[in-house]
Amino acid sequence: MIRTLIADDEPLLRTGIRTILSTADDITVVGEAGTGSETIDLASEEHPDIVLLDLRMPGIGGLAAIPRLRQVTPDSRVIVLTTFDEDHNITTALDAGATGFLLKRSAAEEVLHAIRAVHQGDTYLSPSVTRRVVGMITTTDRPRQHRARRLIATLTPREQDVLWLLGEGLSNADIGSRLRMREASIKTYVSRLLAKLGCTNRVQAALLVRDAGDVPRRGGETTSQLRD
């Protein structure tokens, strides 16, 4: 059972999300919070698998709550509930440790899919959010690019293979299929490369790939050729 905490200052939205989650046999709501402080307190008591977190809440806002949540319940995964007018906060939330982004107007099926994907260790971004993230980081400054490339150079060739495909948003199962490896092995590689890169989640690693750009690899191919 995926234990979920709903955190939003709009009671109507919380009710709507609870109604959606009640249709799933594998998801249960362990609590609701209307402020950042309530979210942190409830999370420290319940230790939910997933926290659906609104960025705009009174008191401690969603952005400030994310690192606090990581402290009090490090195994909980945060999916941010967002609207387009908050897209300037996306990269900040990713850096803070969010592992998913959902638009508040997402369909019920997408909400359930996102929760299940993140619970399984994957990252989920609504397609439109993904496009905005890519757009915000398309132009990379050279110091950032050099730093990304130096970090990636510390990985083994196979770890780099996994990283490039992770950067495309592929799940562990899809990466395993592409590289003809078992999903369990891919999970091990992902954990190892995240530790080496100093990333707390897959989204941060994916952003590092974008920062690095098209990196020449051993054998003459480039990262873009591997993705193809």
Predicted confidence (pLDDT) per residue in 203-228, tens digit? 788 888 888 876 655 444 544 444 44
Residue with tokens 């996306």: 90
Q: Do domains 2-135 and 142-227 have the same CATH topology?
A: no
Predicted confidence (pLDDT) per residue in 140-192, tens digit? 567 888 889 999 999 999 999 999 998 887 888 889 999 999 999 998 999 99
Q: Over 15-52, what HEC string results?
A: HHHHHHHCCCCCEEEEEEECCHHHHHHHHHHHCCCEEE
Predicted confidence (pLDDT) per residue in 94-126, tens digit? 778 888 888 888 899 999 999 998 998 877 877
User: Which option is the CATH number for 2-135: 3.40.50.2300, 3.10.20.310, 3.20.20.20, 3.30.1180.10?
Assistant: 3.40.50.2300
Using alpha carbons, list the distances in angstroms from residue 63 to 24, 36, 78, 109, 123: 28, 9, 11, 26, 18
Among 4-8, 31-35, 45-49, 212-216, name the one with the lowest average pLDDT: 212-216
| 69 vs 85 pLDDT, higher one | 69
The closest alpha carbon to 79, from 18, 46, 22, 122, belongs to 122
Residue 25 in tokens: 């046999």
DSSP state of 219: T
| 94 vs 34 pLDDT, higher one | 34
Asked if residue 22 has pLDDT above 90, the reply is: yes
What does the alpha-carbon distance between residue 1 and residue 4 come to, in Å, rounded to a whole number? 9
Fold of 142-227: Arc Repressor Mutant, subunit A (1.10.10)
Residue 12: per-residue pLDDT:
94
Count helices and strands in the chain by DSSP H and E runs: 12, 6
Domain borders along the chain are 2-135, 142-227
